[in-house]
Amino acid sequence: MDLRRLASFLAVAEEGHFGKAAARLFRSPASVTAHVQQLERELGARLLDRSPVRLTPAGERFIGHARSLLAAMNAAVADLSEVAAEPTLRIGIMSNGSAELTPAVVQTFHRARPEIQVEFVALDFTEHVSALMQHKVDVAFVRPAPDDERVAVDVLTTERRIVVVPASWELADAPAVHLSDVLELPYISLPDHTPRQFADYLYFAAARGGLAPHCSRSHAVTPHEVLTTVAAGCGAGSALESFQRYYPWPGTVCVPVLDAPLEHSVLATRADDRNPAVRIFRSQATTLARELGPQLRLTAT
């Protein structure tokens, strides 16, 4: 049975007019009329009266079957399209991710599962957890490790902390500093909806004894915005040590903070995610972290 004939019949029955049915289906009135006539001949019963347009008793009995047939076909097509579609793994990356491990993991995954497409999504500071929870990404390279029962965490790097300051500041001339030197800096502000855990990380909250940081009037949610603001002399930022290898920026200087607690970058995934591609990616990431971390200066102690 030609499904186009069923669609034309249903459209005429629901619109009560051949012309309106044709417009709804983006077909000519002649083709819709022909479809209905062909369907009636095929079934051996008149389904529609023409003046006015209305269902005959046979049409009344058949319309439910027609709807079920079309619904079943649409469901079959949708089901097959999901199978036929190329599988995709969406990878979220905050800042420089887990440094050199990030591309190494992606390359290893691609060699192992070349049939899976990979999409990269740049995450800003406010998307520490939300990108995963909103299914914007499937895996995420973030820092610090989210403290959220909905999120599974694999530690990939353990690095020294640094502050990013304008080259014009006196602090920029120091080869290294201590926490006592950086707690009173005017740090770049974050939006109110930034996760508290990320803000605490950025501002060295554990060393403040509950005191709020001094924040500048300038806001930032991406590394580019931070560096642009710092270069303009409008505030300071903080990061992991590998940040300076990825973002050499004129007018800024990265200074190690010697006594700041070491911090991690992690691979975060949804705790309840059973996607095989996610499990493979996690396994490869943790394996490479153990094997390559010491070589890449990503396992400070």
Give the Cα separation of 116 and 86 in Å (integer). Answer: 7
Give the distance, in angstroms, between the CA of residue 295 and the centroid of all CA atoms in the same chain.
30
Tokens 């996607």 -> residue: 275
Place of tokens 């560096």: 227
**In this model, does residue 173 exceed pLDDT 90?**
yes
Neighbours of 220 (CB within 10 A): 24
Residues 74 and 99: their CA atoms lie apart, in Å, by 46
- What is the pLDDT confidence band of residue 279, given thresholds at 50, 70 and 90? very high
Which residues sit opposite 263 in a β-bridge? 159
Highest mean pLDDT among 3-12, 32-41, 93-102, 290-299: 93-102
Tokens 């995934």, located at residue = 269
Query: Chain centroid to CA 49: how far?
Result: 54
What's the mean pLDDT in 63-92? 80
Tokens at 172, concatenated: 């920029």
- Report the greatest alpha carbon distance in the chain: 94
Per-residue pLDDT tens digits for 115-143: 999 999 999 999 999 999 999 999 999 99
Q: Tell me the three state secondary structure of residue 132.
A: helix
**Could you report the per-residue pLDDT of 281-292, keeping only the tens digit for each?**
999 999 999 998
Order the strands of the 161-166 sheet from edge to edge: 237-240, 161-166, 252-256
Strands 88-94 and 139-142: parallel
Q: Two tokens at 45?
A: 């019963």
Domains delineated in the chain: 3-84 (1.10.10.10), 88-157+263-292 (3.40.190.10), 161-256 (3.40.190.10)
Contact 183, 204 (CB under 8 A): yes
Q: Read off the DSSP letter of residue 149.
A: T
**How much is the pLDDT for 297?**
65
CA distance 191 to 131: 16
Read off the pTM.
0.72
